Chain A
Amino acid sequence: MKLTLHVWRQNGPDAEGRLETYDAPDVSPDQSFLEMLDDVNEELVKEGKDPIAFDHDCREGICGMCSQVIDGVPHGGMERTTVCQLHMRVFNDGDEVFIEPWKSRAFPVIKDLVVDRGALDKIIQAGGYVSCHTGGVPDGNAHPIAKPSADYAMDAAECIGCGACVAACPNGSAVLFTGAKVSQLAVLPQGKIEAKRRVNLMTETSKELGFGNCTNHYECQASCPKGIDVKFIAKLNREYIKALF
């Protein structure tokens, strides 16, 4: 099939960006979206033009590197699917496709579709961990953890840190990302001890970094390639209020 692509091109963080149009003349339905872009890039290189920069790595939906807004939706709108796992068979011959980077104040563009998501690392660095040293910890079975708690923690821990939630949110909020980590650790006995400190530090840091607040649009869950539930935002709020007392 043949597609027409409108791709966001931007030379650097301070440069002006614009949409440019490219043809993808020979797309196989079995290709992934990124492989389709690989082909477009091969042609651009051969024509002596600058290929489209985009982040990617594992190409199996787990590393969280890929980050493209396709037709206005982060990761392209297929339920629980990253861009790298989006296959071309969901498109039709003759489609016009708009491809843009994550758009958020906290994620400056590095080049074209590549953004700097370092702010998410900073939220984790603020307190998204259990402060245990290597060695000197009890046996893994010393403290049984109820299966529902372990499962709940795992549901939250599946976050791949891609930032689609932020890109989808009209407020540019990182509250689903933060809530997932806060919830994972708050529900486990080993994480409870630091729960109050953690939720305060992570929330404060998120504000300082320019992420917005939550006004319950739930676009984050809809665009999350791992289907992280907004119930973790509610949990974050509960933990935050608990920490006031």
Chain B
Amino acid sequence: MILDGKCPSGPIETSWDRHRFDTKLVNPANKRKFKILCVGTGLAGGAAAASLGELGYNVHAFCYQDSARRAHSIAAQGGINAAKNYPNDGDSIYRLFYDTVKGGDFRAREADVWRLAQVSNNIIDQCVAQGIPFARDYAGYLDNRSFGGAQVSRTFYARGQTGQQLLLGAYSALSRQVKAGSVKLFPRREMLDLVVVDGEAKGITVRNLCTGEIESHWGDAVIVASGGYVNVFYLSTNAMGCSVTAQWRAAKKGAYFANPCYTQIHPTCIPQHGDRQSKLTLMSESLRNDGRCWVPKSKEDTGKNPNDIPEDDRDYYLERKYPSFGNLAPRDIASRAAKEQCDEGRGVGPGGRGVYLDFASSIERVGQSTIQEKYGNLFEMYEKITDEDGYERPMRIYPAPHYAMGGLWVDYNCMSNIPGLFVLGEANFSVHGANRLGASALMQGLADGYFVIPYTIGGYLAQTKPGAVTDENPEFKKSADEVRGELDKLLSINGSKTPSQLHRKLGSLMWDNVGMARSKESLKETLQKIPEIREEFWSDVKVAGSGEDFNQQLEMAWRLADFLEFGEVLVHDALDREESCGGHFRVEHQTEDGEATRDDENYAYVAAWEFKGTGEKPELHKEPLKFENVELAVRSYK
């Protein structure tokens, strides 16, 4: 089937304004009659729930954490982009739009990206009004810094905790609506099913993570803003609870999963220290401005103290391979290059999975105090985790899964192919194409939540009758019974492997075969092995405790069960996409010097996968991508 994103036609500059005018409205007096369920309270979900509550809708918001203030948006460090052009350096909505389309390696929808760039300015205004303490200059005006993939300074920031401050802003707006009575919070709830009645999303089934109760919730529309799925690799920079579960449960009810193979591997993370590690920690990419990446030329030197390795015996591989960009090569390139060195046996640190990031020459040039001023907190964090002093000895870094560009398929209204199911933020696929630029995730989350969904959801609700379907509908009981059946099955296996053992197994398979470099062979092998691990899971997992109370082992097992199904779809997508673009690198499709080669003629489409049963090949639906405002070009970093 050919999918239609329902983007407005005509000049792109006015597309969102025209679309807003054309979208039906819900009478203010009628809004309170509609109930909207919102899953996830990160930037996208929190902002959506707050804004819809302000409009007068009756909103129920769900999150698995103990408070709406803790979603993983909170961990974003760097900043948020906007086309304000405050520095007078030539920025504009068009330039932000252009940079984002190009940065995404021409695999995003133009109209969606335009809208994102357009509302980016409103986001900054909104956040300032909420009292978010952005960095300011001595005259009291907002400060900007530069970020990757752009030649202008358009990134607004609050020290190294921009995500935290933006999330607390959305949380405060949400708290205000809780007090006003328009939003009701349901923390410590996990969405385990989407209830679809007559083809439309009308509710969810959740588990109360404290009491174990399986609850049915009905709504006139359902918003899923549950974040991304890179914990499919087990070790990632995501929080421990981040999962594909809400997305996957919707996919199993018919929502298409778009571009799941577009995963972002961030080059500068603190390497794994052993095989019992639980997660990886990101170090801001800005470090590569002053640090030089290298590994020993010879394998024999990898165990030596790096300071004892003479200059001639070091391989500054990024400078060697990409002389013009050097250490500032983009994320995907830098990540793959680091992996290559380690695969050749020249990696350093535990397990040979690390490369050096060396500040010695910068310290010699500008002095330690200058480096300290710029990156002091990062050196501190590095020392806390590794017990090594990055000023005295080169840091060790290694790439790690960080972000999912893919997600549930949505049209221009952020509505999935199931009417009434809206998907926001990282959970949808819409604006980042095959690669996300730094400081754009926060922008998208808040754009979707504050400025897109409040308009587009009205278009859907206006043609429905409020409260037409409630939890009295038999579909709700059916769904709850199915969930309970699954629960009983999980608890009854009583095998010998713990959920985290099996998650590590899946993670290492995915990382080795579907991580930074993918080949037809590695993908086919993975397609064989995932079902084996799934089989092992369903026959030999051991889930301690009961379903009747707080049970974190059960939470882990349930999330893993979904990763074990979803992982296959990711691999199918990677196998189908016979090209290299952004975060998706197929070794068969590269130039002689290792550059990704895109195939615009055959692959300029969104791949939206329809679930056809566990272990069955999902069905591919395509949405062709048209580029009418940006010319397709090759990204080169030589």
Contact = CB atoms under 8 A, between A and B. Distances in A.
Contact of A154 (B137, B159, B241, B385): B159
Nearest to A38: B278
A19 interface: no
Contacts of A244: none
B140 A145 contact: yes
A50 B50 CA distance: 39
B74 A42 contact: no
B135 A141 contact: no
Nearest to B68: A121
Given A62-B164, A89-B387, A130 B66 contact: no
A11 B139 CA distance: 56
Nearest to A161: B69
A243 interface: no
B140 A63 contact: no
Contacts, number: 214
A1 interface: no
A150 B124 CA distance: 15
Residue among B131, B281, B451, B454 with the most chain A CB within 10 A?
B131
Nearest to B546: A50
Interface in A188-214: 188, 190-191
B273 A30 contact: yes
A190 B175 contact: no
A115 B75 CA distance: 22
A97 interface: no
Contacts of B385: 85, 87
A191 B69 CA distance: 20
Nearest to B384: A85
Contacts of A46: 496, 498, 542
Residue among A42, A57, A121, A184 with the most chain B CB within 10 A?
A57
A11 B279 CA distance: 28
A56 B139 CA distance: 41
Given A38-B500, A125-B175, A134-B51, A58 B542 contact: no
A81 interface: yes
Interface in B448-496: 450-451, 454, 496
Contact of B387 (A30, A53, A56): A30
Contacts of A45: 498, 542, 544, 553
A110 interface: yes
A57 B240 contact: yes
Contacts of A157: 132-133, 158, 165, 168
Interface in A32-78: 32, 34-35, 38-39, 41-42, 44-46, 48-51, 53, 55-60, 62-65
B72 A138 contact: no
B632 interface: no
Interface string A138-159: 1111001111001101100110
A124 B124 CA distance: 22
Chain A interface residue number, banded: 35 or more
A128 B175 contact: yes
B126 interface: yes
Interface in A103-120: 110-111, 114, 116-118, 120
B70 interface: yes
B324 interface: no
Interface string B135-157: 11111111000000000000000
Nearest to A150: B136
Given A44-B544, A134-B173, A135-B122, A63 B141 contact: no
A38 B553 CA distance: 11
B131 A190 contact: yes
Given A50-B544, A121-B69, A133-B54, A28 B187 contact: no
A28 B274 contact: yes
Contact of B129 (A29, A44, A132): A132
Contact of A140 (B84, B138, B171, B277): B84
B617 to A, nearest CB: 35
A68 B628 CA distance: 56
Given A63-B239, A130-B129, A28 B276 contact: yes
A60 B278 contact: no
Contact of B550 (A30, A53, A137): A53
B101 to A, nearest CB: 25
Contact of A111 (B178, B387, B550): B550
Contacts of B185: 121
Residue among A117, A137, A151 with the most chain B CB within 10 A?
A137
Interface in B243-302: 273-274, 276-279, 281-282
B159 A129 contact: no
B134 interface: yes
Contacts of B239: 57-59, 63
A51 B552 contact: yes
A101 to B, nearest CB: 12
A124 B165 CA distance: 15
Nearest to A78: B384
A56 to B, nearest CB: 6
A103 B110 CA distance: 53
A160 interface: yes
B601 interface: no
Given A63-B70, A124-B69, A137-B126, 19 more contacts: A28-B276, A32-B278, A35-B276, A45-B498, A45-B542, A49-B544, A57-B65, A59-B239, A60-B279, A127-B179, A129-B130, A129-B131, A129-B175, A134-B50, A140-B127, A141-B84, A145-B136, A147-B140, A161-B69
11 contacts: A51-B553, A59-B239, A117-B67, A124-B171, A134-B51, A134-B173, A138-B125, A138-B129, A188-B131, A190-B128, A191-B131
